[in-house]
């Protein structure tokens, strides 16, 4: 009775909705026999995305996207809400899994040159999804509304602010104002739960449709180049001879791998827990210990290494060029050999990419962009005086926090430029202006130094550089001292 009713309901839905008509071709479509384990990454990425959507919706039910309450609501989720800690943990490790899987999937597709004819658009839609995913990872950090997230966004706004002509407008649009504040949080929340997921879901739908339309590529073979004139005909013939239905012959590998991914995400969430929240955001304090999520370390590492004159161009240009290159790659070469052994430069690109990523990530782990709050005071040898203004200035460099950001003869952080030879570079006047007004990423000290302290500090800095025993600049350059 119940079975019959259920059967009737199902056949009504199936008839009116066309469920079988849509699903059966998907399940039974023929795929190359040699696909095997190489091809599981795409479906696993999709699976990780589903985990993100489900856990994300759960989090959104409790999370309050407002400057005043975001942090507390996350604390509530982490400490008190039912399964809250698990959901946060899964969403966090799921994000890592998704970024990783998407990149692995892209690498595999690149390695096997699957982006060639007729699958150019598959690749292009994939690149859009990838940047959407990175956008999700980035906006998600801010929603934590702790010092890390806020600081990472300040860097991004700085980046946006450098776009010629309309930079300020873009930055203001992103931040919802001039600085990171409650309005920024709302903006990022909308990006994170509406706009970017919309882009990703549309992209995934197109991507899936294209995968079905053009079929799964066969493993590349040496001496079997892609020729757009003959490819489709040969592909269909080959599938007729050697293909097998997707379900269940090939799908079980996807299922096994995706299950492992989900178990790993749940496992990490249970064992390592959701990351503890950094202290609450205070955009005006430099006392943060900023650290973006690991997949962005390499990028921040590059930024921190650049001389400031180049920074603008790289900050702006690199992501844009990166996107365009990736996006248009299949249009640059959509035919010819697919086998990695015939495309040594492709192997070289992957090798260079992986090495560069690892090296920069390790470098980034040391947070060269961040003030180093663990610095020690300057040794007597470095200061070079035991009393008088120079000695007091040497102490002030430590006490006032200059060493958090500036190295002097090996002591200090790397946020700002070294001051080891600053006496050779700047006059007394310049130094006073710099310290009083601060600069890009340097706080202004006019309010926190007395005239006497400033003068001692400058006297000390003027001794930095040149040959030991050289007179400081003020004696070499009378003009600079005239009006002091």
Provide the binding-site residues for ligand HEC, judged by CB under 6 A. Answer: 286, 308, 371, 400-402, 404-406, 415-417, 422, 425-426, 431, 434-435, 439-443, 445, 457
Residue identified by tokens 């995913």 is 133
Maximum separation of any 2 CA atoms in the chain, in Å: 105
DSSP one-letter string for 234-292: HHHHHHHHH-EEIIIIIHHHHHHHHHHHHHHHHHHHHHT-SPPPPSBP-TT-S------
In whole angstroms, give the CA distance from residue 219 to residue 250: 14
Indicate the residue among 242 and 282 with the shorter CB distance to ligand HEC. 282
Task: Report the nearest approach of ligand HEC to the CB of residue 275 (Å).
Answer: 25
DSSP one-letter string for 303-352: HHHS-HHHHHHHHHHHHHHHHHHHHHHHHH--SB---GGG-HHHHHHHHH
In whole angstroms, give the CA distance from residue 112 to residue 346: 9
Task: Report the nearest approach of ligand HEC to the CB of residue 276 (Å).
Answer: 25
Task: Report the nearest approach of ligand HEC to the CB of residue 431 (Å).
Answer: 5
Indicate the residue among 378 and 457 with the shorter CB distance to ligand HEC. 457
Under 8 Å between Cβ of 118 and 304? no
Task: Report the nearest approach of ligand HEC to the CB of residue 444 (Å).
Answer: 10
Under 8 Å between Cβ of 475 and 434? no
Under 8 Å between Cβ of 116 and 336? yes
Task: Report the nearest approach of ligand HEC to the CB of residue 180 (Å).
Answer: 17
Indicate the residue among 187 and 406 with the shorter CB distance to ligand HEC. 406
Indicate the residue among 31 and 457 with the shorter CB distance to ligand HEC. 457
In whole angstroms, give the CA distance from residue 357 to residue 373: 27
Task: Count CA atoms closer than 13 A to 369's CA, side-chain side.
Answer: 28
Indicate the residue among 53 and 286 with the shorter CB distance to ligand HEC. 286
3-state DSSP helix/strand/coil percent for the chain, to nearest 5? 65, 0, 30
Indicate the residue among 334 and 441 with the shorter CB distance to ligand HEC. 441
Task: Report the nearest approach of ligand HEC to the CB of residue 403 (Å).
Answer: 8
Indicate the residue among 107 and 441 with the shorter CB distance to ligand HEC. 441
Residue 63's SS3 state is coil
In whole angstroms, give the CA distance from residue 161 to residue 174: 10
Task: Report the nearest approach of ligand HEC to the CB of residue 99 (Å).
Answer: 29
Q: Tell me which long-range contacts 401-410 makes (C-beta under 8 A, separation of at least 24).
A: 401/371, 402/457, 403/372, 403/375, 403/377, 403/378, 404/286, 404/371, 404/372, 404/373, 404/375, 405/371, 405/372, 405/441, 405/442, 408/378, 408/382, 408/464, 409/378, 409/382, 410/382
In whole angstroms, give the CA distance from residue 306 to residue 429: 27
Task: Report the nearest approach of ligand HEC to the CB of residue 162 (Å).
Answer: 13
Indicate the residue among 115 and 445 with the shorter CB distance to ligand HEC. 445
Under 8 Å between Cβ of 75 and 139? no
Task: Report the nearest approach of ligand HEC to the CB of residue 408 (Å).
Answer: 10
Indicate the residue among 92 and 369 with the shorter CB distance to ligand HEC. 369
Residue identified by tokens 């309901």 is 9
Residue 158 token pair: 């700085």
Indicate the residue among 295 and 404 with the shorter CB distance to ligand HEC. 404
Indicate the residue among 182 and 443 with the shorter CB distance to ligand HEC. 443
């Amino acid at each position: 009775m119940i079975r019959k009713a259920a059967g009737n309901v199902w056949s009504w839905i199936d008839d009116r909705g066309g469920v079988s008509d849509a699903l059966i071709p998907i399940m039974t479509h023929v795929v190359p026999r040699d696909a095997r384990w190489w091809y599981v990454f795409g479906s696993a990425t999709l699976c990780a995305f589903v985990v993100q959507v489900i856990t994300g919706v759960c989090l959104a039910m409790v999370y309050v996207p407002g400057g005043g309450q975001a942090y507390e609501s996350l604390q509530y989720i982490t400490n008190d809400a039912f399964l809250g800690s698990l959901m946060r943990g899964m969403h966090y490790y799921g994000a890592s899994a998704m970024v990783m899987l998407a990149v692995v999937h892209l690498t595999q597709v690149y390695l096997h040159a699957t982006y060639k004819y007729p699958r150019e658009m598959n690749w292009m839609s994939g690149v859009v999804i990838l940047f959407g995913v990175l956008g999700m990872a980035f906006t998600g950090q801010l929603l934590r509304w702790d010092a890390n997230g806020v600081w990472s966004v300040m860097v991004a706004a700085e980046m946006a602010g450098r776009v010629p002509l309309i930079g300020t407008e873009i930055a203001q649009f992103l931040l919802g104002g001039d600085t990171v504040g409650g309005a920024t949080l709302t903006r990022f929340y909308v990006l994170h739960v509406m706009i970017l997921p919309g882009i990703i879901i549309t992209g995934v739908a197109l991507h899936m449709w294209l995968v079905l339309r053009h079929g799964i590529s066969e493993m590349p073979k040496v001496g079997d180049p892609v020729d757009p004139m003959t490819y489709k005909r040969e592909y269909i013939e080959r599938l007729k001879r050697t293909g097998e239905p997707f379900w269940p012959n090939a799908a079980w590998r996807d299922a096994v791998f995706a299950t492992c991914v989900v178990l790993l995400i749940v496992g990490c969430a249970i064992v390592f827990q959701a990351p503890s929240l950094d202290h609450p955001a205070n955009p005006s304090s430099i006392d943060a210990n900023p650290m973006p999520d690991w997949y962005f370390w390499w990028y921040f590492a590059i930024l921190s290494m650049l001389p400031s004159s180049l920074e603008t161009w790289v900050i702006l240009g690199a992501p844009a060029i990166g996107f365009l290159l990736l996006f248009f790659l299949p249009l640059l070469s959509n035919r010819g050999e697919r086998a990695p052994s015939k495309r040594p430069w492709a192997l070289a690109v992957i090798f260079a990419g992986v090495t560069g990523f690892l090296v920069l990530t390790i470098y980034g782990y040391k947070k060269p962009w961040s003030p180093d709050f663990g610095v020690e005071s300057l040794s007597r040898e470095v200061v070079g005086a035991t009393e008088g203004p120079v000695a007091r200035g040497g102490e002030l460099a430590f006490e006032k926090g200059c060493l958090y950001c500036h190295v002097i003869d090996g002591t200090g952080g790397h946020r700002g430029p070294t001051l080891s030879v600053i006496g050779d570079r700047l006059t007394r006047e310049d130094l006073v202006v710099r310290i009083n007004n601060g600069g890009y990423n340097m706080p202004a000290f006019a309010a926190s130094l007395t005239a006497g302290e400033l003068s001692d500090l400058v006297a000390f800095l003027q001794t930095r550089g040149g040959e030991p025993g050289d007179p400081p600049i003020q004696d070499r350059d009378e003009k600079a001292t005239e009006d002091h």
